[in-house]
Amino acid sequence: MKEHWIKLTRAQQNQTLILVTAVMLGGYGFWYSGIHKELTKTENLVSRKQNRLEQRASVQPAPKAARASEKDITALRDALEQEEADFRRLMQRFVPLDSQQQQQRLRRELTNLATGMGLKITKLEDVARRAGNAQTAPDFGNYTEVDPRYGRPLLALQAWGSYFGVQSFLDELASLSYVAAPVNFRLLAQEDEDQTPNSRPEAPVLKVEMVLAI
């Protein structure tokens, strides 16, 4: 090889060197073109992955501390159930709103009680249905009217009677089938309209106006 190289002229040696260099560089270029494609592809993949990592896979904020744990919620549910049970028991003392029959029964018991206590009932009616003037018809679509302040229907009771009778009437309200609570009352001492001029004036008659929540 060396002997052959020495025998070549300088121009031939230069040509050979240039040729070998060109072939070498060409071969390298051919080989590198494949590598370069792979490198570019991989770089793009890395860049894309980094973008995805920064934009799409950014770490979400950690959840704020829950206001209650499951244990608290369970306890709360138990409390709610207990409260609902108590409320149901409480509501069982009131007349069912969807039962006109029971409401009527309560009115009858009230009438009987008042009469029994010596009270002369002049008026016993639903407050809501009679709240408006006579020109306006009440809303009969609802089976009952619930007073927004007390959350129960109200009955207006007007009667005449003695103080003792009123006192007894109030005491005996607890004996009724359902609750009837006097949420407003007015007792006015007046002369009995039906009193005869010969009757005893010292027996005052009370005009009783009472609102009962049932």
Which residues ranging from 53 to 82 are in contact with another protein (CB under 8 A)?
53, 57-60, 62-64, 66-70, 72-73, 76-77, 79-80
Residue type at 66 in one-letter notation: A
How crowded is residue 178: how many other Cβ atoms within 10 Å of its Cβ? Answer: 17
How crowded is residue 130: how many other Cβ atoms within 10 Å of its Cβ? Answer: 13
Q: Does the footprint of another protein cover residue 184 (CB under 8 A)?
A: yes
Q: Name the minimum Å distance from CB 75 to another protein.
A: 10
62: left (phi over 0), alpha (psi -120 to 50) or beta: beta
| Closest to another protein by CB, 58 or 140 | 58
Q: Does the footprint of another protein cover residue 31 (CB under 8 A)?
A: yes
The CA–CA distances, whole Å, from 39 to 24, 26, 29, 42, 65 equal: 22, 19, 14, 5, 47
Q: Does the footprint of another protein cover residue 33 (CB under 8 A)?
A: no
Of the residues 13, 15, 142, 195, which one makes contact with another protein according to CB under 8 A: 13
| Closest to another protein by CB, 124 or 176 | 176
Q: Does the footprint of another protein cover residue 131 (CB under 8 A)?
A: no
Q: Does the footprint of another protein cover residue 36 (CB under 8 A)?
A: yes
Of the residues 7, 134, 140, 175, which one makes contact with another protein according to CB under 8 A: 7
Asked if residue 178 lies in contact with residue 95, where contact means CB atoms within 8 angstroms, the answer is yes
Q: Does the footprint of another protein cover residue 200 (CB under 8 A)?
A: no
Q: Does the footprint of another protein cover residue 24 (CB under 8 A)?
A: yes
Q: Does the footprint of another protein cover residue 113 (CB under 8 A)?
A: no
Q: At what angle do helices 163-172 and 100-116 cross, to 10 degrees?
A: 140
- Residues 79, 85, 91, 96, CA torsion sign: positive
